[in-house]
A = this chain, B = another copy of it.
Amino acid sequence: MANSKFEYVKSFELPDTLLPNTWVVVRIDGRGFTKLCAKYNFEKPNDKRALDLMNAAAKAVMADLPEITIAYGISDEYSFVFHKSCTLFERRASKLVSTIVSTFTAHYIYSWSTYFPDAPLSPPLPSFDGRAVCYPSVQNLRDYMSWRQVDCHINNLYNTTFWALIQLGGVDNREAEQLLAGTVSGDKNEILFSRFHINYNNEPEMYKKGSVVFRDYELVEPGTHNAERDADALAEPLQHTKSQAEKDRKRRGKAPIVVQHLDIIKDDFWDRRPWLLSNKPGKVPKEP
C-alpha cells in the first residue's frame, strides 16, 4: 500500500531557517508560574529551591546540547545562546526552540522531587514556552544579556522591598504597591536599610545577578584577547575540518559546566572568557 496519494501534504511544511552568521538566543518562560508559586508555596521574594531547580535543568540542557555557548536565567525564564557559527538542525527555528524547551521541561519535572521533596507535583504540571531571536553582532548579543541582567536587578530590588514591607512591615499588597509607586533605586535601598536594617548589597548574589551557565576553562588575562572583534570579523560559519570539530567536541565534553552569579554587563566577564565569543574551547583547568 503506497502512501504517495497523501504525501503531497508534506509540501505544506514551510522552512523556518534562521539567518546564518547571527547569534541565536532561545528564551524560555514559565507558563502560568504565578499560579504555580501559589500552589507549591514558593517563598517570596525568591525561592532558592525553585531557582536551584531552574539552574539544574539549564545545566542539563547545556550538557545535552554542546552547541550552546552560554545560558542566563532569572526567575522563571532562561535564555540559551547558540554561537553565530552554529549549524545545529540547519538552524531551523522550530527544531531549536522545541528541543530546548522539551529538554528543559524534562529535567525540570524529573528533578522536581530533589528540590521539593515535600511538595510532590500534580497536574496541571509546570511547563514552558519559548522563542528564538537572532542577533547580528556581538554588541547586540551582549546588550541582550545586559537587558536581562538589568531586568533581574530592577525586579529583585523591587520585590525585595515589596516583600519586606509586607513580611516585616506588616502592610498589605496594595499599601506596599502605593509606597513603592514612583520610587527610584535609591529610595528602595533607603526603605530597606532605614526601616528593616537590610543592606541590599548583602543580599545573595543569585538573587541580585541571576545565574550564568557556561563551560569553564582557565581564565585569561584581560587585554590579551579580543574575542569580540574576532567574532564579528568571522565571515561565515567556521569551516573546521571534521577532525578539528571532533577534537573541539571532546574538549567541550571535558569542561565542567558551571553556574555562577556574575556581572555579565561589564567587559571583564567576556574578556576573561574568550571561548564564549570565539567558540574555540579554552584550556581545561588542571585538577588541583
Interface residues of A (CB under 8 A from B): 1, 3, 5-17, 19-22, 28, 31, 60, 63-64, 84, 92-95, 97-99, 101-110, 121, 123-137, 139-140, 143-144, 146-147, 150-151, 153-154, 184-185, 229, 232-236
Contact = CB atoms under 8 A, between A and B. Distances in A.
Number of copies: 4
Contacts of A102: 31, 101-102, 104-105, 127-130
B135 A13 contact: no
Given A12-B135, A84-B136, A98-B98, 10 more contacts: A3-B147, A14-B15, A16-B131, A21-B140, A60-B125, A99-B127, A106-B106, A106-B125, A107-B123, A140-B235
A126 B99 contact: no
B14 A17 contact: yes
B1 A150 contact: yes
A11 B20 contact: yes
B136 A137 contact: yes
A110 B99 CA distance: 18
Given A125-B106, A147-B7, A12 B98 contact: no
Contacts of A110: 109, 121, 123, 125
Contacts of A107: 123, 125
A250 to B, nearest CB: 18
B12 A133 contact: yes
Contact of A19 (B12, B94, B95, B101): B12
Contacts of A21: 12, 135-137, 140
A143 B8 CA distance: 9
Contact of A133 (B6, B13, B31, B140): B13
Contact of A229 (B17, B94, B229, B236): B229
A26 to B, nearest CB: 9
Nearest to A17: B14
Nearest to A147: B6
A62 B284 CA distance: 47
A233 B235 contact: no
A142 to B, nearest CB: 8
A140 B13 CA distance: 12
A146 B133 CA distance: 29
Nearest to A95: B129
B6 A150 contact: yes
A17 B15 contact: yes
B185 A1 contact: yes
A28 B233 contact: no
Contacts of A9: 133, 135, 140, 143-144, 147
Contacts of A97: 94, 97-98
A184 B2 CA distance: 9
Given A101-B98, A125-B103, A6 B136 contact: no
